Amino acid sequence: MITITLPDGNRRQFDVPPTGAEVAASISEGLARNAVAMEINGHPADLNFPISSDSTIRLITTHDPDALTIMRHSAAHVMAQAILHLYPNAKLTIGPVVEDGFYYDIDMAPVSEDDFPKIEAEMQKIIAAKIPIVRKEISKSQALDFFRNEPYKIELISDLQDGAISLYQQGDFADLCRGPHVPHTGFIKAIKLTKVSGAYWRADQTKAQLQRIYGTAFFDRKELKAYLQFIEEAKKRNHRKLGAALDLFSFHDEAPGMPFFHAHGMNVWNALLEYWRMEHRAAGYVETKTPIMLNRGLWEKSGHWANYRENMYTTVVDETEYAIKPMNCPGGMLLYGVKPHSYKDMPIRAAEIGLVHRHELSGVLSGLFRVRAFHQDDAHIFMTPDQIRDEILGVLHLVAKIYSTFGLGFHLELSTRPAKSIGTDQQWEQATTGLKQALEAYGQAYQINEGDGAFYGPKIDVHIKDALGRTWQCGTVQLDMSLPERFDLTYIGPDNQKHRPIMIHRVIYGSIERFFGILVEHFAGKFPLWMAPVQVAVLPINDELASYGQELVRLLETSGLRAEMDNRTESLNRKIREAQLMYIPLILTVGAKEKESNTLSVRTLDGKVRYGMSHDLFFSQTLAHIRGRKLDLNIFKAED
């Protein structure tokens, strides 16, 4: 007799070991129809797996988020099977599930999106056949023989320990896999291949370059349609396209992964930094600056030379090895050590907009989202142990204030001590307790990621949510017990003895380049007035009014507005249209009437035109809107 306990506490008994499918069928026909897999005592398993002892099980249905992940893994197998049907000489590597879909890395001749329809058609045949997906367990030697013509599978199997190895078979296709999978291919209701890119086997540039084919899958065609609409909207917001169209930044072969910011882009950049500096001064930070290149001895002391060397750019100066900094922290340690400190100095909040360089593989570079040269809005807070809670709380309040200015929501995650770490149990307990107390005092729900902290301390990650609902990990608050130790940092306590300071690393924008790219997509290029690259376009209707238009530009600039005049010999309608395509929030058309009456004709991005506006009203409303860093593009009050 086998006793099965369900999540609600109900129990069912079976005379012989049941499968998950049989348990589902014993409850209801609908559950049996929608179940795709199960958990046995917390461990995932296929629905046709026999339950041989008393167990607690959870049936995973198509309505469960876990089911989508399982089904997409099965869809990756279907895609691989379809590709082998169409390209018999292709060699498979790995095909994991990723956010919003899956991919498979395949050693094959290059394919393009033009090839997707025929691959999708073959996938649909496999799905329509409702081929059972069956788990098998074989020995390592059997696996090596089974995959003898698959060099990448052989390499993966060779790395495994001796013992049972699982594979999944669906018709004429089999793949090395831990599972679980849906019962048959018919569970995959809606599929779409989305893109293809290059990838190196095991991310090693010396190894074969593979075709990484991405796709997604859903249990419902409506969900796929909604997702594809979301993708289309995301494409419209693509920061690389908008960056070129709005003349913000560019990339060049002479410096791969290192963005060039144009004059318009620098206007946005400076607006971001001016705001950042204002808020940090108000929060009690001082701003510092450290060199971009420091010698090997420093990086050995910090631990980066041993643990991060492959990501660092190095050179030799006067027979001494140097590295361009990948992080700002070691320089901040040197600054702290310049003079002795007392507990009365604490906390010390030192911020730095530091330019760092990291060697990223060319295949992972992605616009402003993944670059080799970027600026971090670092801050290092040195404090006494009893100040941990309040300083973390202060950072969280600053994070909330800054993100809300951009209309960005966020959620918090706390990552605790990993298996490999430094420091004593007492230090970790003190640091983790301090973070938890701050989070609880802050009052926002947070997720705990057990064992996912840095080796030198626990951390809080801040994930922002943009206008499309996408999340991005930008802000981080990390407690560090390693660098103060490595650099022998101390302060004199109330007992007149030396003590080791607790240190916080934190960023809010994170990589400013990446945050810039996120904002381009968040606002779809329509920056709020205070951030807009050009805030006012001045358009004289003819050459005779050009000098008056230039006077108006000077007046606008004197008032602190970013203004440009379009004096080309184009029609006024065309110049208005082009200014609107550049998302310039305010367009002033200058004619004889405006000059004579000393008034303004103001066109806003919502298409409204306000004639005869006085200079005083224009400047008072516009400058107030900028000072308030308002997000809406309705700059003028309705009654105006």
CA pair distance 24, 18, nearest whole angstrom? 10
* Residue ranges of E strands in 301-405: 314-317, 320-324, 348-357, 373-383
Q: What is the pLDDT of residue 421?
A: 77
CA pair distance 14, 392, nearest whole angstrom? 54
Q: Which residues of 189-225 are buried (b: 16+ CB within 10 A; e: fewer)?
A: ebbbbbebeebbbeeeeeeeebbbbbbbbbbeeeebe
CA pair distance 540, 542, nearest whole angstrom? 6
Q: Is 532 helix (H, G, I), strand (E, B) or coil?
A: coil
State how beta strands 55-61 and 2-5 pair: parallel
Cβ-Cβ contacts under 8 Å for 204 (sequence gap 6 or more)? none
Residue 108 near residue 90 (C-beta atoms within 8 A): yes
Q: What is the pLDDT of residue 454?
A: 79
CA pair distance 557, 551, nearest whole angstrom? 10
Residue 392 near residue 344 (C-beta atoms within 8 A): no
Q: What is the pLDDT of residue 640?
A: 47
* List of the chain residues with pLDDT < 70: 638-640
CA pair distance 626, 99, nearest whole angstrom? 37
User: Which residues are annotated as catalytic?
Assistant: 329, 358, 376, 378, 380, 459, 505
- Main-chain phi, psi angles of 634, to 5 degrees: -85, 85
Residue 412 near residue 446 (C-beta atoms within 8 A): yes
Token readout for 259 is 């963005």
Neighbour count for residue 323 (Cβ, 10 Å): 22
Q: What is the pLDDT of residue 638?
A: 58
CA pair distance 267, 583, nearest whole angstrom? 14
Which of 500, 482, 481 has its CA nearest to residue 490? 500
Q: What is the pLDDT of residue 422?
A: 72
Domains in the chain and their CATH numbers? 2-61 (3.10.20.30), 69-236 (3.30.980.10), 264-290+327-522 (3.30.930.10), 291-324 (no CATH), 536-627 (3.40.50.800)
